[in-house]
Chains A and B, each alone.
Chain A
């Protein structure tokens, strides 16, 4: 069960804060951010909030904006929003210096995340004021923000004067800003020249190249497209996963070493992931280091056990190479500690983690990984072996083989290979997905409320029965704490999501409980020991990975699911294998989960640090930032879920806000979205998978006389809802049929409604004149219906 370990919080105190204390917190938060320890930064930011309170000095303001920035970076948009709103209400707000920079970054991030126009306007104000002091980075951002908000003339003005002032800048950061400024004024050749200079500077710096590539791609959110040829001069780093046979005789074969070197060079390997067994793995690792590429090792057990079991039997030369490789690797990760048994299942799990970790890294760097496998294609396959890895890989276009049978003079070394052999499995050990959860605020509940709490949990359980298919292999509880074990990553994640969704869906107030009951949920994965408790005879699991899972849980944000790097890698590997399988069968796989890197958490005692990710149900990539693009254009991607029309209605309402549309005038759109999306969800697709629905809108005309056109597109089977015949309205109650009502309503509520089948997609177009609130304040929604 989770230990009584909670992040420590300083108790708040009223009054002003000594400047020294604010400065101290500021330094600590910045150091934590720098080191990627985002959760420590969040804790410090909360402490700062508690201590600074409503202090209004500029030091306090700067610290609070830093706290908002931290909330934004950890994905807590709500907390950042609340803090930013209170800070924006202050009489004096920072513009220059570090405070102004933080404020601008928070407002920009809030605009990007929520599409809120007011944030964009404020960010533009801060950046353009700062730009007048001559900083090129401020000018570039100000110009982009002006462009995004439709102030084209202002954007050109800012960009023009900054370009004139900094024409001769040559530092890498300034070159990127020069290019951004040139793109704002439409000077593509100028931008290309600056970027070509930058590309030459960065040719041997893969990570900086990748950062520039992402910065350029991000210009799309400001409405600026970068020519693909320009992006191509900043290729993402080449990531390679290697795997090879355990064969200690390979070091006597220069041809094998040479073939491995050649394959790594052929794909210009810059980052590599793999293991370090005596044999091809260690030769790969050695060659990666010789290339001065970044080497990341993932081992199925602790370093010492690995050295003893999978290197030492092969002899001293291999041990010497192993020690050298471990010392020079950029990272060494163990998926289990030395007490776990080393067998084929654990090796297989280790391979999944290597696969998933490399793919996640590739995703973050906008790259794609290659698999290079060194094997004897005729050799027998075992679980966790090379052939197994290749089978699971599923991407033949990104697979390269080093054929040992062809290269090797001596052939496969049976004798030495045998000493490195692994048992198929270990008694009492299994690979598991682990979930720890507890209820935030449970310990503060009054005893009298406990019966109500358990009724609430019964409602949660009831809600979950509808969403969880097969129950997980093991469930245990102690008070509000919950421990769940499942055999694969997808069903572990499914259970976690269903739990979080059920707790969010059941209204605690209806049971007389305080609002905001939420669960902290943590996921981890790895080999664990399984057995029965000698005293209670209950099934139980234990081991280092169980403890590790328990130590992540206290860090999770209420209502969210936090997962360890091992879990997320396992999940990613399984999802990509499923994707490959579906693709081979001619289908298109829809990913189920999205994992966002959140940073590093320091775990208690000997568990060291853990990289953690937030896991969320997958949503399709949106071509543009959701909700508001500008006053006139709107775009949003939905999934085929009946509740999605609510999300659409909320974003659409924000989009129409500047047009002065009253709440009741929005309702006809809400009804139309409800009806049309419900039809699409029910009839467009025959499978149970997740599909995307694209909604765009354009407003034409002026504020008092505007018309909005909404387009809803899906890639489902042809379906024309307008062909459904209207219900006969005069029937009496007894014979009145249920069908056709929804479309009939939409026809009545909208001015125009069209259907077309375009490029194998269904396209529905709705048009309606926008009814604004008339001077007497009477909403006119119903009147506009009657006009027809």
Chain B
């Protein structure tokens, strides 16, 4: 719950501040899609506050990435801890998505 509220201030940023498990990923997916529908060409997802991501979270990211590609927008992921990065890596997602070490780097490169 806390994630959506804090992030809603900035239209081009989704901050993940909880474990992205099967329960939390629904709202996460809805927020990603809502923000992709708004103006702007880049959507940043900052995982800095996220302890882990399960397959439900991965699925939400995948759906968002496909949606972004269709609407010619860019989805940039950032701030993953080692475990989250590992989960993206072992599922092969790191090769399909843009992942930056942290939000500042992401903004500098893609802003």
Contacts and interface: CB of A to CB of B under 8 A. Distances in A.
A378 interface: no
> Chain B's interface: helix, strand, loop or mixed, by majority?
helix
Given A736-B62, A741-B59, A646 B23 contact: yes
Contacts of B48: none
A507 B55 contact: no
Interface string A731-748: 111101010011011001
A270 B96 CA distance: 74
Given A741-B59, A785-B90, A668 B83 contact: yes
Contact of A667 (B1, B51, B90): B51
Contacts of B85: 782
A65 B81 CA distance: 44
B41 interface: no
B50 to A, nearest CB: 10
7 smallest CB-CB distances across A and B, nearest first, come from A729-B92, A782-B82, A742-B55, A741-B55, A667-B52, A507-B1, A748-B90
B86 to A, nearest CB: 5
B5 A674 contact: no
18 contacts: A510-B5, A667-B51, A668-B83, A727-B92, A731-B92, A732-B96, A733-B62, A733-B69, A733-B96, A734-B69, A741-B55, A742-B54, A748-B90, A781-B83, A782-B82, A782-B83, A782-B86, A785-B86
A674 B62 contact: no
Given A510-B1, A730-B92, A733-B96, A645 B22 contact: yes
A674 B52 CA distance: 11
A745 B90 contact: yes
B42 interface: no
* Most chain A CB neighbours (cut-off 10 Å) among B19, B81, B87: B87
Contacts of B82: 664, 779, 781-783
Interface string B64-93: 011001000000000001110111001110
Contacts of A734: 66, 69
Contacts, number: 90
Interface in A506-527: 506-507, 509-510
Given A510-B1, A738-B59, A642 B19 contact: no
A674 B86 contact: no
Interface in A740-779: 741-742, 744-745, 748, 779
A678 interface: yes
A742 B87 CA distance: 10
A480 interface: no
Nearest to A781: B83
B96 A736 contact: yes
A302 to B, nearest CB: 50
B58 interface: yes
Contact of B56 (A507, A667, A674, A779): A674
B83 A674 contact: no
Interface in B25-64: 51-56, 58-59, 62
B21 A674 contact: yes
Contact of A645 (B2, B21, B86): B21
B91 A678 contact: no
A744 B23 contact: no
Contacts of A664: 51, 81-83
A403 interface: no
Interface of B: 1-2, 5, 19, 21-23, 51-56, 58-59, 62, 65-66, 69, 81-83, 85-87, 90-92, 95-97
A258 B56 CA distance: 69
Contact of A741 (B23, B58, B81, B86): B58
B22 A670 contact: no
A530 interface: no
A66 to B, nearest CB: 38
A675 B82 CA distance: 20
Contacts of A744: 55, 90-91
B11 to A, nearest CB: 18
A600 to B, nearest CB: 38
Contacts of A742: 54-56
A167 interface: no
Contacts of B22: 642, 645, 674, 678
Contacts of A458: none
Contacts of B23: 642-643, 646
A786 interface: yes
A729 B83 CA distance: 18
Contacts of B95: 730
A459 to B, nearest CB: 10
B34 to A, nearest CB: 16
A728 B5 CA distance: 36
Nearest to A643: B23
Contact of B5 (A507, A663, A733): A507
Nearest to B87: A745
Contacts of A727: 91-92
Contacts of A643: 23
Contacts of B90: 744-745, 748, 785
A671 interface: yes
Nearest to A505: B1
B54 A675 contact: yes
Given A674-B56, A744-B55, 14 more contacts: A507-B1, A510-B2, A510-B5, A643-B23, A645-B22, A667-B51, A670-B52, A671-B54, A732-B96, A742-B55, A742-B56, A781-B82, A782-B86, A783-B82
Interface string A640-667: 0011011000000000000000011001
A671 B53 CA distance: 7
A508 to B, nearest CB: 10
